[in-house]
Structure 1
Amino acid sequence: MAGDNSPELVAELDRLDEAVKAAPAGDTAAQIALWRQVTRLEHWFFIARGPADRPRPYAVAADQGPMICLYSSASRANEAAHALGLAIPEGDAVPLFGVPMPAAIDYLAAFGESGVFGVTLDHPRIGHYIPLANLGLLKGRIARPVRGQSEEFG
């Protein structure tokens, strides 16, 4: 499996999560900053479901439709799997897999054809989500900076 993401990048997600929670209703700036930070991760991690040779990412049911659970680190995916009761009883192993960025965006976008609505971040710890239809916007942010911001996305 891929190496874990930088603890500093992951910690910044927690800070941005607090900013989203503190933002006034209708203010999306913090939410945009959070998802920009997600695009800076080297790998996106998933709890594997199904056969080991054809794993599918764990998803949860939401009012809008199924949402794939994306994790910012292997350790957060592992913690979530235990918290959600998804660990394999024999030794508490948790099957995980990582997909490098930006290929992870295309990987997830393909699930739209099977009825997946969106992606939720670090469920149940953070839980913010983005519709699959908006993943292309994230990919565009990787390719070019926002006007007036540096190549590092500000």
Structure 2
Amino acid sequence: MSETDARDGDQVTARLDRLNEACRAAPQEIEPQIALWSAICSLDEWVFVNRGTAEQPRPYALAAEAGHLVCIYSTPERARAGAIANGLVAEGEAVPMFSTPLPSALDWVLGLAGAGVSGATVDYPQLGAWTPLPNLARFRQT
């Protein structure tokens, strides 16, 4: 990874961190949540920890009270940290991951509803904000 890519990734995560804090500061307010998910849906790509194979990727998902939540990561660094924190790999091991450019990633995640996914979470456990798939569909570019 180049120094420029690292700086860009740091700027992305810093912005998402700020937006996430605004959501936590006003949990009943919808505007901060819309701003956060707008930023997430404006990324160039979404990164996923792969629990399947290279030929048949399957993104890591959480079993939550709301149903299965697919884990979207804003950067490969956040995906790696999430995989380690969630016990998917040990520190120092390679993390299988894949990325998908937006807006294709959004359509692909929405298609996971047929596999029992009910929502998405971002940068879990660093952030952990989540939204139901029907809300995420509102960010689809027309």
Question: Which residue pairs with 2:113 in the alignment?
Answer: 112
Tell me if the contact between 1:68 and 1:119 (Cα under 8 Å) persists in the aligned partners.
Answer: yes
Q: How many residues align?
A: 137
Q: Distance in 1 between matches of 2:63 and 2:23?
A: 23
User: Tell me, which stretches of 5 or more residues in structure 2 are unaligned?
Assistant: none
TM-score under structure 1 normalisation? 0.82
Cα distance in 1 between the residues matched to 2:38 and 2:23 = 13
Query: In structure 1, which of residues 50, 67, 71 is the aligned counterpart of residue 73 of structure 2?
Result: 71
Report how far residue 88 of structure 1 moved.
Answer: 6.2
2:51 alignment counterpart: 49
Structure 1 residue 12 corresponds to structure 2 residue 35 = no
| SS of corresponding position for 1:32 | helix
In structure 1, the residue corresponding to 2:99 is in which secondary structure? strand
TM-score normalised to structure 2 length? 0.89
Identity %: 42
Distance 1:96 1:40 in 2: 20
Task: Please report the RMSD computed on the Cα atoms of aligned residues, expressed in angstroms.
Answer: 1.8
Structure 1 unaligned spans of 5+:
144-154
Instruction: State the 4+ residue runs in structure 1 displaced beyond 2 angstroms.
Output: 3-7
1:36 maps to what in 2? 38
CA distance, structure 2, for counterparts of residue 104 and residue 138 of structure 1: 12
